[in-house]
Amino acid sequence: MGKIRQYDGEGIRVTYDAERCIHAAECVHGLPDVFDPNRKPWIEAGAAPAEDLAAVIRRCPTGALAYERLDGGPEETQAPANELRVVQDGPVYATGDLILLDAEHTEIGRDTRVAFCRCGASENKPYCDGRHTETGFEDPGVIGTPTVRPPGDEDSTHLTVRLRADGPLVLEGRFTIVASDGGTAEGAAGALCRCGASKNKPFCDGTHREIDFEANDPTAV
């Protein structure tokens, strides 16, 4: 995890993790007076009411931006369902109640919004750092042959995402995958490719072993 910067406004504290920002610019378009990449500091948290800031921050798809209310206002709650939105030539945007586990099944984070690298080139895995653009990663982002276990009678609402060592993202818990063409697949367990080489994206097909994929994932401390 990168260095997290903090900006206090009227009744709200904004945090920003630069290493997780891929300049999707939802923030800049949403509140240009607050988020101005040409200014230093680029976040002026006092330039808008806390409620407006919170609404825009919740649209940051990577989780680079987060907030804490200092005025008793509502904190961010997770989306009612776990969703994995596959971006053409880019990452997978996950939203919901997300629990990140290392390869040993130890929790290393809990989040509501995460952009997961799927090209294999990020230097901040498992997070996307925008390198898919430099490397020319190409994938239409449609659903191949689904290799997920269909939902049953699970009653947990969270989704665990385990970083298999030098392998895929292993999903456990109810989720919906939404493809770039609007196609969907529902599941309760599955494995998403993050080496960039699967022939059945977004699912893992085992190719990571053939290419000796190295993930260099974070582990619990």
Q: Indicate which of ligand SF4, ligand FES, none lies near residue 22 (CB less than 5 to 8 Å, by partner kind).
A: ligand SF4
> At 9, is the secondary structure helix, strand, or coil?
coil
CA–CA dist 188, 166 (Å, integer): 22
**Cα end-to-end distance, the chain, whole Å:** 12
Q: Indicate which of ligand SF4, ligand FES, none lies near residue 60 (CB less than 5 to 8 Å, by partner kind).
A: ligand SF4
CA dist list (Å): 14 to 60, 85, 108, 219 = 12, 25, 22, 26
CA–CA dist 71, 99 (Å, integer): 27
Q: Which member of 24, 27, 54, 197 binds ligand FES (CB under 6 A)?
A: 197
198, exposed or middle or buried, with CB in 10 Å at 0-12, 13-18, 19+?
Answer: buried
Q: Is 128 in the site for ligand FES (CB under 6 A)?
A: no
CA–CA dist 113, 93 (Å, integer): 7
Taking CB under 6 A as the binding criterion, the range among 33-41, 66-74, 109-117, 198-206 that sits at the site for ligand FES is 198-206
Q: Could you tell me the smallest distance in angstroms from the CB atom of residue 41 to ligand FES?
A: 38
Binding site for ligand SF4 (CB under 6 A): 21-27, 60, 62, 64-65
Q: Is 198 in the site for ligand FES (CB under 6 A)?
A: yes
Q: Which residues contact 191 (CB under 8 A, 6 or more apart)?
A: 147, 164, 167, 168, 169, 170, 171, 203, 204
Q: Is 207 in the site for ligand FES (CB under 6 A)?
A: yes
Pick between residue 113 and residue 194 the one whose CB is nearest to ligand FES. 194
Pick between residue 60 and residue 170 the one whose CB is nearest to ligand FES. 170
Q: Could you tell me the smallest distance in angstroms from the CB atom of residue 14 to ligand SF4?
A: 10
Q: Indicate which of ligand SF4, ligand FES, none lies near residue 65 (CB less than 5 to 8 Å, by partner kind).
A: ligand SF4
Q: Which member of 85, 205, 217, 218 binds ligand FES (CB under 6 A)?
A: 205
Pick between residue 27 and residue 114 the one whose CB is nearest to ligand FES. 114
Give strand pairing partners of 111.
98
CA–CA dist 142, 181 (Å, integer): 6
Pick between residue 93 and residue 213 the one whose CB is nearest to ligand FES. 213
Q: Which residues contact 182 (CB under 8 A, 6 or more apart)?
A: none
Contact residues toward ligand FES (CB under 6 A) are 167-168, 193-195, 197-198, 204-208
